[in-house]
Chain A
Amino acid sequence: MIAVERLGKSFHDARRGWVEAVRDVAFECRPGEIFGLLGPNGAGKTTTLRMLSTVLKPTAGRAIVAGYDVVAAPEEVRRRIGFMSAGTGIYDRMTAWELVEYFGRLYGMPRDALRERMETVFDWLRMDDFRDVLGSKMSTGMKQKVSIARTIVHDPPVLIFDEPTSGLDVLVQRTVLDKILELRDMGKTVVFSTHSMSEVERLCSRVAVIYRGRLQAQGPIDELLATHGQPNVEELFFALIEKADAEAGAGAAS
């Protein structure tokens, strides 16, 4: 459902010239699976996921999402994905219901089908008690639920979550993760980025560690632990990062 091949993105920076934010990233993600992208801040997670959501154009490689190329058919891709990140906020001056309805209409859903779907989603996320509350008056937990509702209102086959739990308290975190698991069980293809090891251990069947814009390792968690001889994800993560730093240092020195 998601196939990424040698994906790369370079930005132009006035001071440093062309900077490769992401390089040679490749992975696959199938329906009913949660693929985890684990990495520290600035590793290239957001850039990678923004390329998958077609908001940024890759400068190298290609990515197929839900059967469409992100460069050749970005609108078809956007129609079939749900994307949620720390950057996708909700409107202050719109109620929960209005916001979800607005995006449902943008996805081209017919009025009646949309209303039915919204009832299901609001019920599933237990949002009925703040349907008519304006975004500015919502708690963080409510906002996060509205964001999830917005992400799934059109029932997309592919879901991309970019650090959906950052800055949330544990209660809300738990709700968000539970809902993501439920979505996986519904057969969705889910890509999930985080810098939290425990979330990866809890959610993901397969994981990729991204650092300095490159994938350092990827595969099922058990396999990765076995190959690298590490006891848990945290140790694996630091081992991979140390290795990458050492390589980068050697590269710079040579």
Chain B
Amino acid sequence: MNWANVFLIFRREGMDQLRDRRTLFMVVVFPLLLYPIIGAGVLQFAAALQEKPRIVVVVGADRLPKEPALLTPDGTGFNPALFDSPAEAARLSVEIQPDAGRWATPEFREYAVRELDASAVMVVPADLPEQFAARADVSIPIHYRSVDENSKVTYLRLRELLDRWKGGIVEERRKEDKLPEGYAKPIEVRGLDAATTQEIGGSVWGRIFPFLLVLMSLTGAFYPAVDLCAGEKERGTMETLLISPAGRAEIVVGKFLAVLAASVTTAVLNLVSMGLTGLQLARRATAMGGGDGAGEAAAALAPPTLQSALWMVVLLVPLAAFFSAICLAVAAMARSMKEGQYYMTPLYLVCLPLIFMTMAPGIELNAFYSLVPVTGVALLLRALIVGDYATAFRYFVPVLLPTVIYAWLALRWAVEQFNDERVLFRESERFSLGSWLRGVIRDRAARPTSAQAVLCFALIITASWLFAQVVLSTGAGGLGVVAAGQAIILLVPLAMAFLLTTDPAGTLRLRRAAWRYFAIAIGAAVAVKPLSAEFERLVRWAFPLSDATKSVFESLLLGETPLPLAIAVFALVPAICEEAAFRGFILSGLRTGRRTRSAIVLSALLFGLLHVFLSLFQQFFHAAILGVLIGLIAVRSRSLWPGVAFHAVNNGLAVATGAWIATLERAGAAGWVYRDAENGLYHVPWVVVGGVVVGALVLHLWKYDRPDVGEA
């Protein structure tokens, strides 16, 4: 790759975006305007929600005792000592009316609540002083309207207020009777909030921020990507660029960097604008009140700390890279800006649920979410904003690394799109399903296409899922179901190979293989075992299994099944079915128009994903790595069968481990082989020997034993 060209293209595209008013608006102006507007809206909203002073008419106030005081001395409000804060006291104002004339009638008091300004009318009974003196209980009627929100709130406040006042009266009586303190109040609840001011602020922002930030970096990538691909095709400059000496990869990387810059800029400007708005709002809130409510508001609106902001930027770059590459690859298909916009909806539809996770309560970052594209980053952003640094730092690398890998894969896809003249010079044609299907069958080639390979994978997943639903609803179980599930994995590639290719046997690699490949495959399967055991331990340590899943798997493996049957169902059948699908149809399809190396890795990733969907997420890594190994064997031997042998031996060893260890223990040899027989961990020398053997076999296949080179 010529980096001078990449830089030239990046500079031009970047400058082009800076000169484009639409992009500038979306990338720079929109975020800078959005948050102050949202902020102002929030303030207005808060102001509207702020409680207006409510009027309580107190009828017969002259009957109230001096101590404890219910009203202020001037009689315009309630005694502030009865409230949490003076600000709250100010929200209830009092209007004193004599218990005579119209106020003496309940009808007028009700009328006052219904039609006049009074939110509630409280009546002090005529016999109150006497009853107090007699230490009897008194009932105080309060008129209010439950359907009027204002009146109802006032009523609840009054009750709370009178409760405290009552406490004061009881206290007076206690003093008079010289009873011990606490006699009348055996329990007092005191809530202590452990959240720091930052956390209170973070929990509010923490839900909204990641959502907006991720969305903005997607939006920031999408518009430039459409402009730089579809827009260029539409304006007729794409071909101008394609005939320059710059290679396709250079063009894509140059454009990608420009889109990335736009996306990161959008996200960072959003971050800055949000932060400044938050700061401003927090100040306003503090300046307005000074009471507890204002303090809480200030805390809720306070921006994230500078430190977490920096980490967010670090995290946003790979996410923006992922979005940029995806957007470029998608936009490359569009012929015009208008068509490009159409592609935006599905992209958003896929991304939004992934981002919404951060808004959902109870979803915390864990090992699984850390691997989910977009969601992992969004949840980590939330942890950073909330100030949960323990979680944030534990998952920083597990989130960052997959995101970087996804971004790299997406970029590869974009380069592939640009290398595909069918994508670049796509012409509109009328689509008719019938003729398209006829065309697919009529014009089939010897090998499937990449798209058909991916379709095969998707069909396997869907069919298996539907099958699982049926099994669940009928309550069927047992080995038969396991075998039937495997049959589905076999049927899909088999049907597709016969329908879509002219050479199904070649596609599925149903050829004879030289005997040495069987030896290599079986040798590798045995030698890799000590390594797998170590690796599995590592994976289980990083992503522990729940006890429930563990017991389910143990019951499956260590059930009453006789060993030969278990080996047949768990080793032989999956070996044939999964190999036909993944090393047969899918690998053949992925090799069309791609380097062997990439095809093997991609098919191995899909193989890993199969295990995520059909069994356990923890099996992904193991399956993917073994997938690479078997893929290499399949490609070099030009046959499915050595891979089947590897797969069967590998699974067979896993199924028979228990029986094997028991045999060894009876012979007294287990101590020689295993350092931890219970977990199947071998002694270190065995692990080293296994590693050396596997390494040598891979090198042999990769570098020297290559009879397949040159074949299509």
Contact = CB atoms under 8 A, between A and B. Distances in A.
Nearest to B2: A108
A86 B235 CA distance: 11
A150 B240 contact: yes
Contacts of B198: none
A105 B12 CA distance: 11
Contacts of B421: 55-57
A83 B243 contact: yes
B247 interface: yes
Interface of A: 11-15, 17-18, 53-57, 75, 78-79, 81, 83, 85-94, 102-103, 105-108, 150
A123 to B, nearest CB: 23
B435 A90 contact: no
A55 B12 contact: no
A54 B421 CA distance: 11
A49 B240 CA distance: 14
Contacts of B4: 108
Interface string B241-260: 01111110000000000000
A239 to B, nearest CB: 31
A57 B593 CA distance: 13
A15 B245 contact: no
A93 B236 CA distance: 13
Contacts of B5: 106
Interface in B556-602: none
B246 A106 contact: yes
Given A17-B442, A17-B443, A88 B243 contact: yes
Contacts of B239: 55, 85, 87-89
Contacts of A79: 245
B3 interface: no
Contacts of B345: none
Contacts of A87: 236, 239
A105 B246 CA distance: 10
B439 A15 contact: yes
B244 A107 contact: yes
A87 B236 CA distance: 5
B510 interface: no
B247 A89 contact: no
Given A79-B245, A106-B246, A89 B442 contact: no
Contacts of A56: 421, 425
A18 B443 contact: yes
A75 B443 contact: no
Nearest to B443: A17
A89 B236 contact: yes
A11 B442 CA distance: 15
Given A83-B243, A88-B239, A93-B19, 13 more contacts: A12-B422, A13-B429, A14-B439, A15-B430, A15-B436, A17-B443, A55-B425, A78-B244, A79-B245, A89-B235, A89-B240, A91-B12, A105-B8
Those 6 A-B pairs whose CB atoms lie nearest each other, nearest first: A89-B236, A93-B19, A88-B240, A87-B239, A106-B244, A83-B243
B243 A102 contact: no
Contacts of B15: 93-94
Contacts of B292: none
Interface in B591-643: none
Contacts of B242: 55
Contacts of B442: 17
Contacts of B20: 93
Nearest to B239: A87
B431 interface: yes
A199 to B, nearest CB: 22
Given A94-B16, A150-B240, A75 B245 contact: yes
24 contacts: A11-B422, A13-B439, A14-B431, A14-B435, A14-B439, A15-B429, A15-B432, A15-B439, A17-B442, A18-B443, A55-B243, A78-B243, A78-B244, A79-B245, A85-B239, A88-B236, A88-B240, A88-B243, A89-B235, A89-B237, A92-B235, A102-B12, A106-B5, A106-B9
A233 to B, nearest CB: 29
Contacts of A55: 239, 242-243, 421, 424-425
B425 to A, nearest CB: 7
A66 to B, nearest CB: 12
B243 A53 contact: yes
B410 to A, nearest CB: 24
A59 to B, nearest CB: 11
B436 A108 contact: no
A12 B8 contact: no
Nearest to A150: B240
Nearest to B432: A15
A90 B240 contact: yes
Nearest to A89: B236
A166 B484 CA distance: 64
B245 A91 contact: no
A31 B375 CA distance: 61
A14 B247 contact: no
A83 B422 CA distance: 21
Contacts of B424: 55
A90 B239 CA distance: 10
Contacts of A17: 439, 442-443
B496 to A, nearest CB: 19
A88 B431 CA distance: 28
Q: Which of B16, B425, B431, B436 has the most CB of A within 10 A?
A: B425
B255 to A, nearest CB: 13
B243 A54 contact: yes
Contacts of A83: 243
B27 to A, nearest CB: 15
A78 B439 contact: no
B16 A14 contact: no
Contacts of A12: 422, 443
Interface in B440-488: 442-443
A84 to B, nearest CB: 9
A85 B242 CA distance: 13
Contacts of A78: 243-245
Contact of B16 (A54, A57, A93, A103): A93
A11 B425 CA distance: 11
A44 to B, nearest CB: 14
Contacts of A14: 429, 431, 435-436, 439
A18 B445 CA distance: 11
A14 B432 CA distance: 9
Nearest to A162: B239
A36 B594 CA distance: 38
A106 B443 contact: no
Contacts of A53: 243
A69 B550 CA distance: 61
B254 to A, nearest CB: 10
A91 B16 CA distance: 9
A14 B431 CA distance: 8
Contacts of B429: 13-15
Q: Which of A17, A55, A56, A106 has the most CB of B within 10 A?
A: A106
A53 B400 CA distance: 42
A133 to B, nearest CB: 14
A13 B430 CA distance: 10
B261 to A, nearest CB: 16
B223 to A, nearest CB: 15
Nearest to A106: B244
Nearest to B236: A89
A78 B246 CA distance: 9
Q: Which of B243, B244, B424 has the most CB of A within 10 A?
A: B243
Contacts of A106: 5, 8-9, 244-246
Q: Which of B9, B237, B240, B429 has the most CB of A within 10 A?
A: B240
A54 B429 CA distance: 24
Contacts of B247: 75
Nearest to B440: A14
A93 B231 CA distance: 12
Interface in B273-295: none
Contacts of A15: 429-430, 432, 435-436, 439
Interface string B1-26: 00011001100100110011000000
